[in-house]
Structure 1
Amino acid sequence: MEHAEPPATPPSRLPWDFHPALTEERLRICARMLANARRDALAMASYELGDDPWSVGCRAFAFGRHRLERAASSGDYPWLEVLDDSAHFVFVIGGNGNGVPVRFYRGAAEEPTERTLKRQEVEVQQLSLALGEAEAEDRAFRLAVETDGAGRVDRVVFLALRGEDRVECFWPVPLELPAEAAPGAAVQLRLIADDGYAGPGQVTDRTAPLPPALPRRKAMPDKQWPQTSLF
């Protein structure tokens, strides 16, 4: 997938410049959860039964929301909270009631839509607590999940937006870390640890094999079968 070019004058601020709670490690973890959620949605898609990009996208959003909710309630990530668990899902990075509200969407980071920019009331209130009213005015933090032609995650970008057309931070979240290696040795990339859920593919591997198919019954040429119709 070819990305559109970031803003002509790249914003110089990084996520943690806005608030210390927005650390690189935390953003990596959240981005990884969203990437794995879309991976699982694609793995479970049944195009023969009618799945399409829209239905897969809905499932990917639900899976991403669920992963973040499960991680927040696990106690393993005390800096992660859920502020709004509705379809306008808002989560918070940072604890003690002073964290930063963030939302995620699938789409081009360079072209956030009006729906993406819309802020929820609880989001505005939490942002004022975290940054102060002046800094929070017209500002929004988003994670943009960009996909390729097959629907797979290509990259996740952290955005700090202000108003309808001002991008103050455009930071592609690194999803991989180079493993430590001796000088001159080949470097093996390793994925960041996820929230402990392996995904649906691991479940199917543990299921018992299907029994052999029963032999077909011979057709009865002299029997008239009733006609059926599909509704």
Structure 2
Amino acid sequence: MSESPSLFPLAEPAPLRLPWEIHPSLKEERLKVCARLLAAARADAVRLAQPRLGDDGWSVGCRAYAFGRKRLREAADKGSHPWLSIRDSSNRFIFRIGEVDVRFFRGSAEEPSRRVLRRYGEEARQMALALSVDITAGLVFRFALEVDEAGGTERVVFLALHGEDGHAECLWPIPLDSAPVKRDRPIGQLTLLGDESLA
């Protein structure tokens, strides 16, 4: 006996959208600038690590997070990127790309934790206004920094996720055009990546 086709065929999953299809503030070049700042901050934290003094993945991660916040704050303060501003400079750190509130984390883009999905009050209110939708849509915007075994940035992914279940509307790996590090000091002395090499 042959099976008859289902009256209710399973729907194909909706294709992922590009960031600028979700909101016009999320332009490709803007996302690249932020990704380069965050990747450079992590690179500096890895270079400064001193395992013989006790640095480990946790301390490097804390330093990378602090360095990332500082890079974004300085870029916003300089005014060279008028679309970049800081919403919350505390340890919750929320920055804005145009009208969109964004946060960043270290970890897998495909498996964000509950902590990553959490929306804070101001972030949730702003999303409702920016997207002109009901707050129950629950989108959160994140940069995921995926790291290699040495702690360096392997890739940066921009995410638009539903905060309730983590379902991705957007999962876009950002092309990182690496710029050469300019050395203005002897090789034996540490040189940090400057923002000017990333713009």
Q: TM-score, normalised by structure 2?
A: 0.82
* 1:70 alignment partner in structure 2: 74
* 1:5 alignment partner in structure 2: none
User: How many residues are matched?
Assistant: 177
CA RMSD of aligned residues (A): 2.3
For residue 11 of structure 1, report the CA deviation from its aligned partner: 3.4
* 2:127 alignment partner in structure 1: 127
Does the CA-based 8 Å contact 2:16-2:168 persist in structure 1? Answer: no
The Cα offsets for residues 21-71 of structure 1, whole Å up to 9 and x where unpaired, read as: 100000000000000000000110011100000000000000000000000
**Shift in alpha-carbon separation, 1:22–1:47, aligned structure 2, 3 A:** same
Aligned 1:184-203 pairs, distance under 5 A: 191=178
State the one-letter code of the partner of 1:173. Answer: I
For residue 165 of structure 1, report the CA deviation from its aligned partner: 3.2
State the one-letter code of the partner of 1:111. Answer: E
State the one-letter code of the partner of 1:16. Answer: W
- Name structure 2 gaps, 5 residues minimum: 1-11, 190-199
* 1:43 alignment partner in structure 2: 47
State the one-letter code of the partner of 2:38. Answer: L
For residue 10 of structure 1, report the CA deviation from its aligned partner: 7.5
Does the CA-based 8 Å contact 2:44-2:64 persist in structure 1? Answer: yes
How far apart, in 2, do the equivalents of 1:152 and 1:205 lie? 20
Does the CA-based 8 Å contact 1:127-1:136 persist in structure 2? Answer: no
* 2:137 alignment partner in structure 1: 137
* 2:118 alignment partner in structure 1: 118
How far apart, in 1, do the equivalents of 2:38 and 2:153 lie? 9
Q: Percent identity?
A: 50
* 1:148 alignment partner in structure 2: 148
Structure 1 residue matching 2:134: 3-state secondary structure: helix
Higher Rg: 1
For residue 76 of structure 1, report the CA deviation from its aligned partner: 0.3
- Name structure 1 gaps, 5 residues minimum: 1-7, 177-190, 208-231
Q: TM-score, normalised by structure 1?
A: 0.71
* 1:172 alignment partner in structure 2: 173
Does the CA-based 8 Å contact 2:125-2:135 persist in structure 1? Answer: no
How far apart, in 2, do the equivalents of 1:202 and 1:82 lie? 31
Deviation beyond 4 Å, 4+ runs, structure 1: 201-207
